[in-house]
């Protein structure tokens, strides 16, 4: 497989694992696929295997061994690589802090909104350079995929909360107390470091994206909760990882052969540039994403 070509889909379902989830257990017929994309190398090799009769592509977001900080995660390469493999449904597993008493460590949240407080250091679009596209992003998480995640999480016996806003900060430092209190004042529910630009890029790649947010701590706002430490987070992550794998195994057959999502048509009305003026080099870079729409204009 070259960087600009897609063969028959290797997997239509993908899983990207965050802190504490670096591999998937119970995969059958496993293969490792190393890709080079037009946007560089992904975080690691993709591990493709069979769960409940369906091929699933797994990628550790921070690389095996957790080598990449949140700001260093190559999200463009990661999302483009999933699309090269044929993925159309992507489950994002992420460790998050809670900004609400009722979202306790060990709980699962399936958020429905994002709020961006990153610093603009992370490339967040496949476009520019002579090709402008404006995708709709008012609902960043796919409702159909979120429904299935909720069903799977409840079947796994988890304490599940549906809905809520995840504020995404730059990191890698944890929040100051003032920041944590301000995020609560704004009405946010969770805080994390990696959902953006990942969710934006999944939308541009026309991949349905939903999140399994695994609560590890109360950030630093909670009066009965010590300041967040790596040791504290890791202890909860170990239990969360086992639960996340159980939920993922249960959601795969619920996705099954797939369903239509608005995300699968995100670029249909998003491209504003006249195809006649798009530079050939840029078109070659993103042909996998836009080719079917621009060929209609030819």
Catalytic residue IDs: 217, 219
| Structure-derived torsion over alpha carbons of residues 284, 286, 292, 298, reported in degrees to the nearest 10 | -50
- Tell me if 134 is assigned to a ligand binding site: no
Residues near 117 by beta carbon (within 8 Å), at least 6 away in sequence: 167, 168, 169, 170, 183
- Tell me if 217 is assigned to a ligand binding site: yes
- Tell me if 19 is assigned to a ligand binding site: yes
**In the block, which residue shows the tokens 């995708």?**
135
In this structure, what DSSP letter does residue 227 have? P
Q: Strands, DSSP E only, in the chain?
A: 13-17, 28-33, 46-51, 54-60, 89-98, 108-110, 113-117, 160-162, 165-169, 190-192, 208-217
Our CA angle for 56, 57, 61, nearest 5°, is 135
Taking the CA atoms of 209, 182, 109 and 18 in sequence, report the sign of the dihedral they define.
Answer: positive
Q: How many C-beta neighbours within 10 Å does residue 125 have?
A: 15
- Tell me if 295 is assigned to a ligand binding site: no
- Tell me if 57 is assigned to a ligand binding site: no
- Tell me if 169 is assigned to a ligand binding site: no
- Tell me if 67 is assigned to a ligand binding site: no
- Tell me if 178 is assigned to a ligand binding site: no
Distance in angstroms (rounded) separating the CA atoms of residues 226 and 132: 46
Phi and psi dihedrals of 209, rounded to 5?
-130, 130
Binding residues for phosphate: 19, 61-62, 94-95, 194
Binding residues for substrate: 193, 217-219
Binding residues: 19, 61-62, 94-95, 193-194, 217-219
């Amino acid at each position: 497989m070259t960087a600009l070509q897609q063969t028959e889909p290797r997997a239509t379902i993908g899983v990207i694992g965050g802190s504490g989830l670096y591999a998937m257990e119970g995969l059958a017929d496993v293969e490792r696929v190393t890709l080079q994309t037009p946007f560089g190398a992904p975080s690691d090799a993709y591990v493709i295997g069979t769960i409940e009769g369906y091929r699933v592509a797994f990628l550790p977001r921070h690389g095996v061994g957790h080598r990449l900080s949140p700001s260093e995660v190559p999200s463009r390469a990661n999302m483009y690589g999933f699309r090269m493999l044929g993925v159309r449904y992507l489950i994002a597993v992420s460790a998050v802090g809670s900004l609400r008493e009722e979202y306790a460590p060990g709980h699962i949240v399936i958020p429905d909104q994002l709020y961006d407080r990153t610093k603009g250091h992370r490339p967040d679009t496949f476009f520019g350079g002579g090709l402008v596209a404006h995708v709709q992003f008012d609902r960043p998480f796919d409702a159909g995929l979120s429904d299935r995640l909720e069903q799977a999480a409840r079947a796994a016996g988890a304490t599940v909360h549906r809905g809520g806003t995840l504020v995404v900060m730059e990191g890698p430092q944890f929040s100051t107390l003032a920041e944590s209190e301000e995020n609560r004042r704004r009405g946010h529910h969770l805080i994390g470091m990696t959902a953006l630009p990942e969710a934006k890029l999944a939308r541009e790649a026309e991949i349905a994206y939903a999140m399994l947010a695994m609560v590890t701590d109360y950030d630093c706002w909670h009066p009965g909760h010590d300041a967040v430490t790596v040791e504290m987070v890791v202890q909860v992550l170990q239990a969360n990882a086992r639960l996340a794998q159980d939920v993922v195994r249960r959601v795969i057959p619920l996705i099954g052969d797939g369903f239509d999502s608005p995300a699968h048509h995100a670029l249909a009305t998003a491209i504003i540039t006249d195809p006649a003026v798009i530079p050939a080099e840029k078109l070659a870079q993103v042909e996998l994403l836009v080719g079917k729409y621009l060929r209609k204009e030819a």
